[in-house]
Structure 1
Amino acid sequence: MGEHGRKRAGAGDNFWQYRPAQPGDARRAIDWRQSARGDDHFVRETEWQAAQTVMLWVDDAASMRFSGGKRPSKLRRAQTLALALAVLAVKGGERAGLAQLAEPPKGGRGQLIRIADALMEGGDVPEYGAPRPQVMPMGSRAVFLSDFLGDPGPLTDALTSAADRGVTGTLLQVLDPDEEAFPYDGRTVFESMSGAVRFETLKADRLREDYLERLHARRAQLRDLCARTGWRFQLHHTDASPEAALLALYTALEKRR
């Protein structure tokens, strides 16, 4: 991480190409060793290098507060991973930004403190989250962390807009193991995290097949969206190692250089 080549001539340390000298080029710009091989003069150009930007969106909706056991909530795991990514990016010389912040992406310790404060802010939230309608810097990289169980429309719009600006990234679906296994049987009362929706059934096990079918259909929809926009899809359960998830995200970001 840090300084990345932009595949064109500019300020940098790495050799990019030789080009024929043109009127107006300074004499010191001419590579005399290369020019001595023939009758023409050549200018040695370097590749333009600049720090890249990592944009983060953490879904802080009510559904992310769910935990089916003595495990961290989906929200706490997503916050932890996002902040860890921001720390790695800033320490590597990158700029980090958070969709919840109005300020542009920045580097430095002060930015990490702002990101941490923004991640921990409370307040009224909807049942399910959607990416903030924020324009991401051209060519930046991004990570969206959510359960992605709400309306997929805003997410589709966000990734389509990002792809149009050359932004690549990763969707990390964070789920509690109980949401994956649906270990409910007999009389069960299901209630949304906000309390707005409540459903009681005497035979919860009969809902398992339909529920899992819809969950798998949503995951297939997310994978298809990523394939169409050039993003990656990853799945993480809150009972799994956060270090493994962080390493996978970090590796995916590096491959986008």
Structure 2
Amino acid sequence: MPVQTAAHTLRQDADRLASGYPALLAEADRVAALVAAGVHGRRRAGQGESFWQYRPYDVSDPANRIDWRRSGRGDAVFVRDNEWEAANSVYLWRDGGPGMDWRSDKSLPTKRDRASVLSLALASLLMCGGERCAVLGESERPRSGRVGYERLAQRLARSDGDMVNLTGKIPAYAKLLLCSDFLTEPGAWPTKLAALAARPASGVILHIIDPAEESFPFKGRVEFQTPGGWLKPYLMGRAERAKEDYQARFAAHCEWIETSARHLGFTVIRHRTDQPPGPALTALYQAFEGSL
């Protein structure tokens, strides 16, 4: 495929994925505004004491952040980051796998959309409190402020949520938010979580669940298909007979997530897409409030 054609195709795919961005951003702002009334901001005075690194100035940085002595050595303008800022950076990852685009009823949001809304709303609350946020594996650095939030929102909306982004570079003391249904090819998640265990980071796992995935309401003759097609379709004659065994396996799946999270030092928050997002956002914010 010619380079120009490939680039055009990628741009079309990105535009398609981000087509719901304004609505997602509006929903995230609405949810964040509702929760903000019940939580307290934590903006901290000062920039910290220990030097972390110099980095190029960005338009989202206030002018008083510029280190004029370092900038005076050349033509580029630099900002001085400190350990406090590195330790108060949150990296967001929202799974973009095929299964995240599924919903059991048209009245429900897809798991991908609900994960995006909660991620954006959390970023809004944290950044208002003085924290810095980035999209794991895609943002060049954590940002703060309204301009930083809008850039993060656009990047998250366009993100394909590839699992390879979980290997993205992060500072030693940063925090992570991982949003997924954790339903994918066998063996994929244990490997990824084991790799995370070797990294000096902790945070929160947001387990997104469609209500049908937990209740298994299917009856009669039903054909089950795997999003992404990694298994062949399976036709079941009387689906209700499998309900008890399925629910036992789903409960074991949730327990595995809890156990894996404990080994990582992560907190797990479960959220069903048929429930309002406010309580889940409050739980997310409180989890990060206690660790930052």
Quick check: which one's strand share is greater? 1
Determine the structure 1 residue equivalent to 2:252.
217
**Is the 8 Å Cα contact of residues 100 and 118 (structure 1) preserved in structure 2?**
no
Matches within 5 A, 1:46-195: 50-51=84-85, 52-69=88-105, 70-121=107-158, 132-151=166-185, 153=187, 155-194=189-228
Residues 164 and 5 (structure 1 numbering): CA distance in 2 closer, same or farther, change over 3 Å?
farther
- Residue by residue over 1:46-83, the C-alpha shift from the partner in whole angstroms, topping out at 9 and shown as x without a partner, is xx982310111100111011111111111110000000
TM superposition shift of 1:161 = 4.7
Of the candidates 277, 281, 286, which is equivalent to residue 242 of structure 1?
Answer: 277
Residues 208 and 131 (structure 1 numbering): CA distance in 2 closer, same or farther, change over 3 Å?
farther
TM superposition shift of 1:154 = 5.0
Residues 206 and 218 (structure 1 numbering): CA distance in 2 closer, same or farther, change over 3 Å?
same
Residues 193 and 152 (structure 1 numbering): CA distance in 2 closer, same or farther, change over 3 Å?
closer
Segments of 5+ residues of structure 2 without an aligned counterpart are 1-41, 51-81
Residues 206 and 98 (structure 1 numbering): CA distance in 2 closer, same or farther, change over 3 Å?
same
Q: TM-score, normalised by structure 1?
A: 0.74
**Is the 8 Å Cα contact of residues 100 and 180 (structure 2) preserved in structure 1?**
yes
Does 77-86 or 103-112 show the bigger shift?
103-112
Moved over 6 A (4+): none
Residues 2 and 136 (structure 1 numbering): CA distance in 2 closer, same or farther, change over 3 Å?
farther
Does 227-236 or 197-206 show the bigger shift?
197-206
Segments of 5+ residues of structure 1 without an aligned counterpart are 12-47
Task: Give SS of 1:72's match.
Answer: coil
**Is the 8 Å Cα contact of residues 131 and 155 (structure 1) preserved in structure 2?**
no
How many angstroms apart in 2 are the aligned matches of 1:152 and 1:110? 40
Quick check: which one's helix share is greater? 2
TM superposition shift of 1:108 = 2.4
Task: Give SS of 1:57's match.
Answer: strand
Taking only the aligned residue pairs, the percentage that are identical comes to: 31
**Is the 8 Å Cα contact of residues 189 and 198 (structure 1) preserved in structure 2?**
yes
Structure 2 letter corresponding to 1:59: D
Q: TM-score, normalised by structure 2?
A: 0.66
How many residues of Structure 1 are paired with residues of Structure 2 in the alignment? 216
Structure number with larger C-alpha Rg: 1
How many angstroms apart in 2 are the aligned matches of 1:132 and 1:68? 28
Task: Give SS of 1:132's match.
Answer: helix
How many angstroms apart in 1 are the aligned matches of 2:166 and 2:184? 14
